[in-house]
């Protein structure tokens, strides 16, 4: 039986990953599977991509922490289930832990999709990084750009009091722009303009990998050229 504090942390992680409309119980924790966690995580990453929302880095940090906590819980649960049992092949053929790299292009995605890709997706499908690295890069990118509320205030679209109101009233993981529209303080066109300005002010996504020593600047340049070539071929293929 899990300690009450750990159980509550896992419930919190489930709410972040799957949403608030869950009937959480110990039975739910017994039922949850790694495939479902991974699917929910990828959906959330896509939902809160910086080019599609006005959230802040706290959203990504909470999502990353929830994903890792549930991954560790599932790995421990699996280890407990297999305690005292030895595989005839002497190896684990079960669910993979989050963050394990898929060498050679990845078992989940053996080939690049035949569609234009973002840089993070291109690196992932090439087997060079995992989804957790994409999230870390997105968090870093968000932390190195001004928040949407600050841009709106400097542009005269919102007052400091209105920014505080939006921050205090928005739901967990709700993008700032969506909350501002719901409260009637901004319209969709203004949010789109603020997001455009925010993208112009942020550091490039690929700079994260160079700064952290994951790729050299020369390697990053070759990868960007490879991405551009892939996207050009994908677009030409679609137009035929």
Give me the pLDDT at residue 103, please. 35
Query: Which three-class secondary structure state does DSSP give residue 15?
Result: helix
Q: Give every CB contact of residue 95 below 8 A, 6+ residues apart in sequence.
A: 33, 34, 35, 74, 78
Give me the pLDDT at residue 182, please. 94
Q: Of 218 and 100, which is predicted with more confidence? A: 218
Give me the pLDDT at residue 216, please. 94
Diameter over CA atoms, the chain: 68
- How confident is the prediction for the chain on average, in pLDDT? 79
Closest to 65 (Cα-Cα) out of 98, 32, 23, 106 = 98
Per-residue pLDDT tens digits for 67-124: 888 888 888 888 776 665 544 444 443 333 333 333 333 334 346 888 888 898 899 8
Q: How many Å separate Cα 5 from the centre of its chain?
A: 26
- Specify the DSSP class assigned to residue 90: S
Question: How many CB atoms are closer than 10 A to CB 205?
Answer: 18
Give me the pLDDT at residue 41, please. 84
Give me the pLDDT at residue 92, please. 40
Per-residue pLDDT tens digits for 126-170: 889 987 788 888 888 877 888 899 999 999 999 999 999 999 999
Share of residues in the chain with pLDDT > 70 (%): 79
Query: How do the domains of the chain map onto residue ranges?
Result: 1-85, 146-201
Q: What is the pTM of this model?
A: 0.48
Give the Cα separation of 184 and 90 in Å (integer): 61
CA torsion, ordered 97, 57, 209, 221, to nearest 10 deg: 120
Give the Cα separation of 109 and 188 in Å (integer): 36
Q: Of 216 and 134, which is predicted with more confidence? A: 216
Give the Cα separation of 215 and 221 in Å (integer): 9
- Say if residue 171's pLDDT is above 80: yes
Question: How many CB atoms are closer than 10 A to CB 95?
Answer: 15
CB of 113 within 8 A of CB of 125? yes
Give the Cα separation of 217 and 211 in Å (integer): 9
CA torsion, ordered 105, 229, 133, 219, to nearest 10 deg: 100
Q: Of 29 and 123, which is predicted with more confidence? A: 123
Give me the pLDDT at residue 32, please. 86
DSSP H helical segments within 82-129, as ranges? Answer: 119-125
């Amino acid at each position: 039986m899990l300690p009450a504090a750990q159980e509550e942390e896992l419930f919190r992680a489930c709410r972040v990953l799957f949403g608030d409309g869950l009937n959480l119980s110990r039975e739910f924790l017994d039922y949850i599977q790694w495939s479902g966690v991974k699917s929910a995580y990828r959906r959330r990453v896509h939902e809160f991509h910086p080019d599609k929302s006005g959230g802040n880095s706290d959203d990504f940090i909470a999502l990353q922490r929830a994903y890792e906590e549930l991954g560790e819980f599932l790995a421990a649960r699996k280890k407990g289930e297999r305690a005292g049992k030895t595989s005839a092949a002497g190896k684990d053929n079960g669910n993979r832990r989050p963050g394990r790299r898929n060498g050679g292009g990845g078992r989940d995605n053996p080939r690049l999709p035949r569609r234009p890709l973002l840089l993070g997706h291109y690196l992932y499908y090439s087997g060079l990084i995992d989804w957790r690295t994409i999230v870390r890069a997105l968090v870093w990118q968000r932390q190195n750009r001004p928040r949407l509320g600050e841009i709106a205030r400097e542009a005269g679209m919102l007052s400091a009091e209105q920014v505080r109101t939006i921050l205090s009233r928005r739901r967990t993981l709700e993008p700032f722009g969506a909350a501002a529209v719901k409260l009637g303080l901004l319209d969709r066109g203004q949010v789109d303009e603020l997001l455009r300005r925010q993208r112009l002010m942020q550091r490039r996504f690929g700079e994260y990998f160079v700064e952290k020593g994951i790729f050299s600047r020369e390697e990053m340049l070759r990868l960007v050229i490879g991405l551009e070539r892939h996207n050009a071929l994908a677009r030409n293929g679609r137009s035929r």
